[in-house]
């Protein structure tokens, strides 16, 4: 039986790989026979797909249901102006083919769902999570663990990025890092919070590097480690992450053995959920997180004018409690955005929240401890 070898044109194309210790022809042949799935053809998926195509990964699957928009071009470098309006999968395939026509590109244009996730993922050797929402991240993680496929995860928000490898044998999964999704108001949103365009190239390139390391066996992949990168300071840190023995998916007494019925519901928990008989409160930490995550909400000070003149939380509007109780200022409060109320210590704002619930508002919380707690918190951050 003849041993597989690279063709002369392949040896020429991948010559810079062939001379690398630990890769050589054997490693390049492993790349050629590998099947890699990239979920997402946006900011992170763009550099991942381009570098994997250039590296000679034989089969690349692309999952994405979205179309190219002009606003994507600031960071999604696999697409161009002429691709606006086209499916991202089609545009990405065209760019891959320009780099390397020998790559077999498989398109999954319906996106990833609970119904198709395992079937799609089981057809590949490795999976790249290049998505930007928590529901899909948890779905990918769970499907990769159940299918026994490593998941190379990346995340970007504003000027910060993270990379790790999950679901590898004996390694942790994404749930070991984030056992539960954040409340939807705290979930980072690049559309409102922004993302530094070139940061996608940095993190996506790191993801592609991890893929190549895993396929060829060279180096030490980020299994059990999370790399964080701050683009503003150009500082990075690698944090150890062990498998969580209490993890519901991969822990010693795991309780989850299949995909969840509804990942959107699982990731739609709200700080503003109102249970009968209990007025919801949020902590100063949650309020700070909402502000830093660019969440859209109304912050209302229900104290009196004299108290307001002595200081207030930036971004707040003053509506004294009497104007809430008598309804004279209800029209100033939008029913379309969540509401955070605060007073001096958190007592009056609880009563005002109850009054707004009775007036038909549905997303209202009181700041526990009021402005006193906020001032104390602000002094220590």
Where in the sequence numbering do the catalytic residues fall?
A: 190, 343
For residues 284 and 299, the answer to whether their CB atoms sit within 8 Å is: no
Q: DSSP label at 66?
A: -
Q: Is the backbone of residue 163 left (phi > 0), alpha (psi -120 to 50) or beta?
A: beta
Write out the two tokens for 276: 């009968």
Q: In the block, which residue shows the tokens 């307001």?
A: 308
Can you say how many angstroms the Cα of residue 298 is from the centroid of all Cα atoms in its chain?
25
How crowded is residue 93: how many other Cβ atoms within 10 Å of its Cβ? Answer: 21
Q: DSSP label at 330?
A: G
Sign of CA dihedral 304, 309, 312, 314: positive
> What residues have CB less than 8 Å from 164, skipping those under 6 apart?
152, 153, 177, 222, 225, 226, 227, 241
For residues 327 and 348, the answer to whether their CB atoms sit within 8 Å is: no
Q: In the block, which residue shows the tokens 């029913």?
A: 335
Burial string for 60-80 (b: 16+ CB within 10 Å, else e) reads: bbbbbeebbeeebeebbbbbe
129 three-state secondary structure:
strand
Rounded CA separation 257/146 (Å): 8
For residues 186 and 289, the answer to whether their CB atoms sit within 8 Å is: yes
For residues 338 and 185, the answer to whether their CB atoms sit within 8 Å is: yes
């Amino acid at each position: 039986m003849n041993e597989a070898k690279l063709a002369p044109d392949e040896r020429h194309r991948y010559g810079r790989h062939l001379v690398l210790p630990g890769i050589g022809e054997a490693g390049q042949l492993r790349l050629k026979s590998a099947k890699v799935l990239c979920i997402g053809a946006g900011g992170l998926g763009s550099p991942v797909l381009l570098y994997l195509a250039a590296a000679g990964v034989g089969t690349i699957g692309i999952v994405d249901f979205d179309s190219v928009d002009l606003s994507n071009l600031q960071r999604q470098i696999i697409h161009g102006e002429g691709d606006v309006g086209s499916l991202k999968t089609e545009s990405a395939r065209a760019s891959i083919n320009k780099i390397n026509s020998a790559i077999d590109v498989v398109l999954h244009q319906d996106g990833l769902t609970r119904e198709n996730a395992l079937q799609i993922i089981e057809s590949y050797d490795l999976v790249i999570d290049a998505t930007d929402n928590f529901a899909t991240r948890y779905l990918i993680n769970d499907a990769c663990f159940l299918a026994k496929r490593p998941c190379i995860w990346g995340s970007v928000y504003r000027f910060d990025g993270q990379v790790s490898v999950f679901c590898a044998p004996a390694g942790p999964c994404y749930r070991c890092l984030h056992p539960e999704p954040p409340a939807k108001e705290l979930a980072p949103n690049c559309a409102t919070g922004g993302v530094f365009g070139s940061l996608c190239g940095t993190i996506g390139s790191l993801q592609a590097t991890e893929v190549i390391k895993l396929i060829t066996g060279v180096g030490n992949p980020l299994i059990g480690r999370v790399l964080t990168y701050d683009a503003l300071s150009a500082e990075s840190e690698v944090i150890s992450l062990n498998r969580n023995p209490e993890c519901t998916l991969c822990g010693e007494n795991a309780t989850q053995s299949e995909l969840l019925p509804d990942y959107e519901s699982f990731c739609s928990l709200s700080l503003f959920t109102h249970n009968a008989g209990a007025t919801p409160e949020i902590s100063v930490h949650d309020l700070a997180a909402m502000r830093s995550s660019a969440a859209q909400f109304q912050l209302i000070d229900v104290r009196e004018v004299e108290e307001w003149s002595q200081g207030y939380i930036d971004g707040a509007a003053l509506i004294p409690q009497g104007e809430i109780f008598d309804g004279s200022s209800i029209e100033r409060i939008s029913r379309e955005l969540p509401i955070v109320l605060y007073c001096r210590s958190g007592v009056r704002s609880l009563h005002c929240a109850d009054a707004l619930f009775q007036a038909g508002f549905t997303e209202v919380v009181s700041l526990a401890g009021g402005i006193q707690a906020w001032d104390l918190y602000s002094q220590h951050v």
